[in-house]
Chain A
Amino acid sequence: MSSLQCERCHQAKATVHITDTVPEKTERHLCENCAESEGVIVKHQHPTTNEVLQQFLKHKAASTGHDDLVCPKCSLSFNDFQLKGQLGCPHDYTVFREYLLPLIERAHEGQVRHIGKVPKTAEATVHRQTDLVRLRRELRDAVAGEDYEQAANVRDKIRTLEDA
């Protein structure tokens, strides 16, 4: 049964086997693509890691030279990641960040910043980061408005946070 050819396209292997019982018993053997075009099955639509990676590789053609980049913690190279589609350790996100971001952006509808749940242990760091973003904006506005006293004030706050 498993070596059957698809009876619709006569090319691919039949992996979908359907038994109709109404009006009479008939058996059909289709490949996944033909079964989908007949509406018998719905193939999963989540872009597989491969699809995401392939898009990524296209992008990569333009920017070369980081295949040999290796994570010092897990020894995974960027090339390994491109082959496997999975990262080797949390530190990879830091080592490969610059090259991962375009891929992440593509896989998440243009988003590159987490705004969801923050674990209690990371709350302080995350708050500091959001405060910094806010203060830098305040500094820019103060300078633009030529309010130098306020700007100096904000700059000091930024320094304190950056040193923390």
Chain B
Amino acid sequence: MNLDDLTRGTGEWLRGEGPLSDVVVSSRIRLARNLAERPFLTTASESDRTEIYRSLASDVTAAGDDDAMFVDLDEADTVDRDFLVERNLISRQHASGNGSRGVSISSRETRSLMINEEDHLRIQGLRSGFQLDAIWEEVNRADDAIAESSPFAFDSQLGYLTACPTNVGTGIRVSVMLHLPGLRLTKEIERVARAARDLHLAVRGLQGEGTEAVGDLYQLSNQTTLGKTEAEIIGAFSTSIIPRIVDYERAARETLSKKQPVRLDDKIWRAYGLLSNARRISSGETHTLLSPLRMGIFMGRFSKFDVKRWNELFLFTQPAHLQKVHGVSMGERERAIARADYLRDRLEAID
């Protein structure tokens, strides 16, 4: 398997299936790990870094499935790296870093093992909809398998040791990506975000730290990693936080369809009109316009295409995907035109 094979599909997290998928786009868990007896990357020399990379690359490959793909990020070009960021398989920081680093990606894109990101290893599990338990099982198993050949830095009081003390302990970060257009329209989104922050959760945009909530997509994640078990951290999301927000969003959609059906349909159909007629369009505007369509699909108010097709439009209009499919590198202006062409083409084919 190679990177070009990935361009044929949307990958696991955008399958649009799984529990609560009308509101929960995807779920993710990542574990931060470092090799014992090795410096963290902040003080590692070039040769330390290369040794860490080589040692982990072989352990990770041995622990992975046969179809897993390994990408050497130091050698990969910018478009390929951005392509992996857009698919949520590596972080922005990992893409733009320097020196020996790489990622192993499982064939269904449910698991990615990032070597030399902020820590030596980041084990990530990613699935469509709300599936934290299945992800934890996969991530935990990968962690055990790799630990057999690479003992991780661990302290009996502080747990897994990480480069930044904010990740110490379990090293776990649970993130759930939510689509909340209803709460945005009823102007309740800030209240929900504030409630989430009161529960010590971080609220972010699509691609993690510091990114905007474009297209009504919000990522919720835990901030503390010490003093709780992994099961407790995951359980807080599963039993209270997420089901409650899903209920709020569904109630907001219900209110809108009862009290303002015309406003709602107008929003959906104007967005569709623009997407299927624009001659040039940015990826931000595309995501903003796609948002009401996703809501419309799940509310039964829009049936031109289903959520699978929506996911495809969402992913392939992002800059690196667009360039990957066209096979040429393009500047922002060219991409805006190519994006509009792509959208008209796809939407016309559906119609």
Contact = CB atoms under 8 A, between A and B. Distances in A.
Q: Do A and B bind each other?
A: yes
Contacts of A100: 165
A41 B151 contact: no
Given A104-B168, A108-B226, A90 B161 contact: yes
A19 B287 CA distance: 12
Q: Classify chain B: how many residues form its interface, as a range.
A: 35 or more
Interface in A1-44: 16-17, 19, 21-22, 35, 39-44
A116 B166 contact: no
Contact of B223 (A40, A47, A120): A47
A159 interface: no
A44 B227 contact: no
Interface stretch (B12-20, B76-84, B202-210): B202-210
A75 B43 contact: yes
Nearest to B229: A116
Given A84-B42, A89-B40, A115 B227 contact: yes
A118 B289 CA distance: 46
A13 to B, nearest CB: 15
Interface stretch (B60-68, B152-160, B303-311, B316-324): B152-160
Contacts of A74: 39-40, 43
Contacts of A43: 210
B166 A114 contact: no
Interface in B141-197: 143-144, 147-148, 151-161, 163-166, 168-170, 172, 187, 189-190, 193, 197
B39 A114 contact: no
A29 to B, nearest CB: 13
B200 A109 contact: yes
Interface string B12-31: 00000000000000000000
Given A49-B166, A52-B166, A120-B147, A108 B227 contact: yes
Interface string A115-141: 111111110011001000000000000
B274 A21 contact: yes
A57 interface: no
A89 B209 contact: no
Interface SS majority for chain A:
loop
A118 B170 CA distance: 9
B210 A44 contact: yes
A41 B168 contact: no
Contact of A116 (B148, B170, B193, B205): B170
A108 to B, nearest CB: 4
B285 interface: yes
Nearest to A104: B165
A82 to B, nearest CB: 12
Interface in B252-275: 267, 270, 274
A44 B210 CA distance: 5
Contact of A87 (B147, B164, B230): B164
Nearest to B161: A90
B97 interface: no
B158 A89 contact: no
Contacts of B228: 111, 115-116
Given A49-B164, A85-B164, A108-B226, A19 B285 contact: yes
A83 B297 CA distance: 50
Contacts of B158: 93, 104, 112-114
B34 interface: yes
Contact of B161 (A16, A42, A93, A115): A93
B144 A89 contact: no
Contacts of B190: 39
Contact of A114 (B42, B143, B226): B226
A151 interface: no
Contacts of A115: 227-229
A158 interface: no
B213 A42 contact: yes
Nearest to A88: B43
B234 to A, nearest CB: 11
Given A115-B229, A116-B230, A42 B204 contact: yes
B225 interface: yes
A114 B147 CA distance: 18
A86 interface: yes
B251 interface: no
A112 to B, nearest CB: 7
Q: Which 9 A-B pairs have the closest CB atoms?
A: A111-B227, A114-B159, A90-B153, A88-B43, A46-B202, A116-B170, A108-B226, A41-B212, A89-B39
8 contacts: A46-B202, A88-B40, A88-B43, A90-B37, A90-B38, A90-B153, A94-B155, A108-B166
